[in-house]
Amino acid sequence: MNSNNNVVKSDKDHIWHHLTQHKIYEARDPMVIVEGKGMKIWDSNGNEYLDATSGGLWTVNVGYGRESIAKVVGQQLTKMCYFSQANGNEPAARFAQKLVEKMPGLNRVYFSNSGSEANEKAYKIVRQIAHNKYGGKKHKILYRDRDYHGTTITALSSTGQLQRKDQYGPFTPGFVEVPHCCEYRSQYGDDGDYGIKAALAIEEVILREGPDTVGALVLEPITAGGGVITPPEGYWEKVQEICKKYDILLHIDEVVCGLGRTGKWFGYQHYGIKPDIVTMAKGVASGYAAISCTVTTEQVFDQFKNNPSDPMSYFRDISTFGGCTAGPAAALENMRIIEEENLLDNVTKMGDYLLGKLHDLKEKHEVIGDVRGKGLFCGLELVVDRETKQPVDESITQAVVGECMAQGVIIGATNRSFREFNNTICLSPALICTTEELDEIVTAIDNALSKICG
């Protein structure tokens, strides 16, 4: 998801603009964001916007302008900014302890600096276990159609979004796709038990590949950039059962859902499952510093202690910037804010309010085919016709985004992910949002749909 306006300065003479065509910026300047406070941001021309995307990419969970986070980061950097992960540091140790208190059953934390890197670390764990325990055979990693796990070549190898992957192959071998679980676009017709059928489709892939070759299954708890797809009833319970049956590690990618986005600390905690590996980034420090985490169970960690005399037996991965102290310092303060301001409760209340408003919009606008979401993580799938469910062209979705921006509200959309399903409006306002701010967001969408779609 993006707001069509993410900019990155590369040097004083050039501004590279991500996820939009570059040529147009030879004739006009891109948007440059210069200030933020709460849920509002301002560009270099002084224009004010209400941000319903938490920084364009589900990141600024506690809102802009948090002076307390800036203060603790500044103090920590002055005291001790960095040392390699061959040694520990105080804020990392403190944050790891607080983090695992929120994740019963998991208690080992590996730090890095992006979601892609956190997932790569998880894949290395799976591959090294396969080598040491299964003679290298149980090395395959299953991923799901429509899920996204990162921007590196190997992370893209585990991504079920064809347009994002185009032109970047050949990919890392050993990654195998399983079917999506979007009930609105059921592969199995309108029969009941869709969640069970979607889970059993994973088992079919395992049996086809050979259970003795499959080491892990990586899934988003709620598919994010693939269309804000909430899991159907019975799905997660069956997935957990299948993984246990075939001795397959369950890896949950919480890069988007983690740290309160859905109303619990982590998205998987809504569904009563017990993952072996959990990865996270984005909201861990709400964008105030770069940090990501790969968290495992003690059982997974124990498999790297079997033979201390073997120089290859321990987990040998390293992340240079995983040794930075700014990330965990910011993450500690970010977690304190979520706790002391009761933001998980706010997410649940405001999420229910937002979903209700979105269902009201669906009653008014035929172009809305489906409303989906959990907490402050919601999507509107736009269709040409509700009976056929034919998706609108991506240009329509982007026109709605553009019209909302013209009204001073930034919303997101599935963007350049698929060849035909870039048709879902994505909303992820900060966890601090109020009913008044949500009303403003919904009104902007209402006006935009009326103008663009009639």
Q: Considering only 123-137, 183-197, 278-292, which range has the smallest mean pLDDT?
A: 183-197
Q: CB-based contacts of 342: which residues, under 8 Å, 6+ apart?
A: none
Using the predicted structure, report yes or no on whether residue 10 has a pLDDT greater than 60. Answer: no
pLDDT value for 19? 62
Report the pLDDT value the prediction gives residue 204, as an integer from 0 to 100: 98
Structure confidence at residue 419 (pLDDT): 79
**Given a cut of 80, is residue 387 above it in pLDDT?**
yes
More confident residue, 312 or 120: 120
pLDDT tens column, 36-84: 999 999 999 999 999 999 999 999 999 999 999 999 999 999 999 988 8
Does 265 have pLDDT greater than 70? yes
Check pLDDT > 50 for residue 438. Answer: yes
| pLDDT at residue 14 tops 50 | no
What pLDDT does residue 311 have? 86
Average pLDDT of span 135-143: 97
pLDDT band at 229 (very low <50, low <70, confident <90, very high): very high
pLDDT at 18 over 70: no
Report the percentage of the chain scoring pLDDT > 90.
83
Q: What HEC string does the chain produce?
A: CECCCCEEEEECCEEEECCCCCHHHHCCCCCCEEEEEECEEEECCCCEEEECCHHHHHCCCCCECCHHHHHHHHHHHHHCCECCCCCCCHHHHHHHHHHHHCCCCCCEEEEECCHHHHHHHHHHHHHHHHHHHHCCCCCEEEEEECCCCCCCHHHHHCCECHHHHCCCCCCCCCEEEECCCCHHHCCCCCCCCHHHHHHHHHHHHHHHHCHHHEEEEEECCCECCCCCECCCCCHHHHHHHHHHHCCCEEEEECCCCCCCCCCCCCHHHHCCCCCCEEEECHHHCCCCCCCEEEEECHHHHHCCCCCCCCCCCCCCCCCHHHHECHHHHHHHHHHHHHHHCCHHHHHHHHHHHHHHHHHHHHHHCCCEEEEEECCCCEEEEEEEECCCCEECCHHHHHHHHHHHHHCCEECEECCCCCCCCCCEEEECCCCCCCHHHHHHHHHHHHHHHHHHHC
- Please tell me the predicted confidence (pLDDT) of residue 15: 40
Q: Say what the pLDDT of residue 54 is.
A: 97
Average pLDDT score, the chain: 93
The pLDDT assigned to 333 comes to: 98
Cβ atoms 225, 414 nearer than 8 A: yes
Percent of the chain, pLDDT > 70? 96
What pTM value is reported for the model?
0.93
Asked which of 310-314, 403-407, 443-447 is least confident by mean pLDDT, the reply is 310-314
The structure tokens 């983690």 sit at 258
Please give the pLDDT value at position 35.
96
Per-residue model confidence (pLDDT) at position 9: 38
The reported pLDDT for the residue numbered 12 is: 36
